[in-house]
Amino acid sequence: MELTTVWFAVIAFLWIGYFVLEGFDFGVGILLRVLGRDEPERRAVVTTIGPVWDGNEVWLITAGAMTFAAFPEWYATLFSAFYLPLFAILVALILRGVALEYRGKRDDLPWRSRMDTLIVIGSLAPSLLWGIAFANLVRGIPLDASYEFVGGLGDLLSPFALLGGVTFTAVFVAHGAIFLALRTTDELRERANRLAGWTGLVAAGLAVGFLAWAQQLRGDRWSVLIAVAAALALVGGLVANRVRREGWAFAGTAVAVALAVTSLFVAMFPAVMPSTLDPGSTLTTAAAASTPYTLKILTVIAAIFTPLVMLYQGWTYWVFRKRVIVGV
């Protein structure tokens, strides 16, 4: 297997890990004011992600760094085309991080209310914008023969892209609700379980429509099969949630997110930035890749450090696996 293919798979894996883990973070943040009806409940909601949210963002940082190192042309085209959406995501993530860190620094309800608002905004905006960005990666954007973006912001807001934004957001909300049902107790757990049920149905409907459209635009037999498996996993997670098996329910939505993102990358390959102007202007893995020597060095580094990082993060989740009790 060529190293360009290996590194496309590595970067896809990093994005999959990011959306599976940060996805429930975003969902929890969006639901902070919906499920947290008073200060003790909101504190409990924030506590469920407190030890892990910053570690989850490492996947995004690593995905960006590895894209820059392994596929510099992809990185350059991506950031030139999606400059405004990516800048908005960065600002939202900074505000969210500040709010999560400083929420408990003052024993003042108005202060905490303002931080809660920033957490909601900082979770909702990236969910929507990441969906729009990935929908455009599948659909394609206007690129010229030099792989330069020649469109405008309006070209990124097609109906398919907007559906992608809404779908990502809905799936993350359901994923986050199931995570809260898994990590909380008593009445908060009950409300999270009920909310996961109906938001999951909405997310399932949107996901089926979005993935079907994506496969029609740019798919093959394998991406279609993976998309179908993602839909089945999501349904299985919702069934498990209904019978109060939150662990299996969370596993179901996590697998559904992972398979759905996998289907998008499989549908794209070998393109990394499809062109809507001319198929000859499509940026592929071969055209975007670094030199073979650079890819070999990166492969050695990734083989050593990636398992260590995953083990550490797995240990973190194991240590903080217990349910959060409201008021404690």
Q: Which pair of structure tokens corresponds to residue 317?
A: 């989740």
**CATH number, domain with residue 203:** 1.20.1630.10
List, as one string, the DSSP characters of 111-157: HHHHHHHHHHHHHHHHHHHHHHHHHHHHH-B-B-TTS-B---GGGG-
Any domain includes 195: yes
Instruction: Tell me how far apart the alpha carbons of residues 274 and 281 are, in angstroms, rounded to a whole number.
Output: 8
Any domain includes 328: no
What confidence tens digit (pLDDT) does each residue in 224-244 have? Answer: 999 999 999 999 999 999 988
The fraction of the chain above a pLDDT of 70, given in percent, is 99
Residue 198, sorted as left (phi over 0), alpha (psi -120 to 50) or beta, turns out to be: alpha
Give pLDDT, residue 328: 57
Residue 24 confidence (pLDDT) above 90: yes
Which whole-number Å values give the CA distances from 148 to 4, 86, 154, 300, in the listed order? 21, 17, 16, 32
Any domain includes 324: no
Strand bridging mode 283-284 / 271-273: antiparallel
Instruction: Tell me how far apart the alpha carbons of residues 8 and 313 are, in angstroms, rounded to a whole number.
Output: 23
Most confident listed range (26-35, 216-225, 293-302): 26-35
**Residues contacting 216, CB < 8 A, separation 6+:** none
Which whole-number Å values give the CA distances from 235 to 29, 33, 131, 240, in the listed order? 23, 26, 21, 9
What confidence tens digit (pLDDT) does each residue in 158-209 have? Answer: 999 999 999 999 999 999 999 999 999 889 999 999 999 999 999 999 999 9
Give yes or no for a contact between 172 and 128, defined as CB atoms under 8 angstroms apart.
no
Q: Which pair of structure tokens corresponds to residue 14?
A: 């990093």
Backbone φ and ψ for 324, nearest 5 degrees, come out as -95, 130
Any domain includes 266: yes
Q: Which long-range contacts (CB under 8 A, 24 or more apart) does 152-158 make?
A: 153/84, 156/81, 156/82, 156/85, 156/132, 157/132
pTM of the model: 0.93
Q: In the predicted model, what is the mean pLDDT of residues 263-291?
A: 89
Label residue 107 by pLDDT band (50, 70, 90): confident
Which structural domain, as residue segments, surrounds residue 215?
A: 3-319
Any domain includes 251: yes
Give pLDDT, residue 106: 85
| Domains identified in the chain, total number | 1
Give pLDDT, residue 133: 93
How does DSSP classify residue 106?
S
Q: Which pair of structure tokens corresponds to residue 203?
A: 């997310």
Backbone φ and ψ for 36, nearest 5 degrees, come out as -85, 100
Q: Which pair of structure tokens corresponds to residue 293?
A: 């020597």
Backbone φ and ψ for 242, nearest 5 degrees, come out as -65, -35
The vertex-237 CA angle with 231 and 241, nearest 5°, equals 145
Q: In the predicted model, what is the mean pLDDT of residues 267-276?
A: 89
Which whole-number Å values give the CA distances from 22 to 32, 107, 127, 152, in the listed order? 15, 28, 9, 29
Question: What is the radius of gyration, based on Cα positions, of the chain?
Answer: 20
What confidence tens digit (pLDDT) does each residue in 46-69 have? Answer: 999 988 888 888 899 989 999 999
Any domain includes 326: no
Any domain includes 327: no
Give pLDDT, residue 327: 62
Any domain includes 240: yes
What confidence tens digit (pLDDT) does each residue in 293-322 have? Answer: 899 998 998 888 888 888 888 888 888 888
Label residue 277 by pLDDT band (50, 70, 90): confident
Instruction: Tell me how far apart the alpha carbons of residues 77 and 300 are, in angstroms, rounded to a whole number.
Output: 26
Instruction: Tell me how far apart the alpha carbons of residues 165 and 183 are, in angstroms, rounded to a whole number.
Output: 27
List, as one string, the DSSP characters of 175-211: HHHHHHHHHB-HHHHHHHHHHHHHHHHHHHHHHHHHH
Nearest C-alpha neighbor of 46 from the set 183, 194, 251: 183
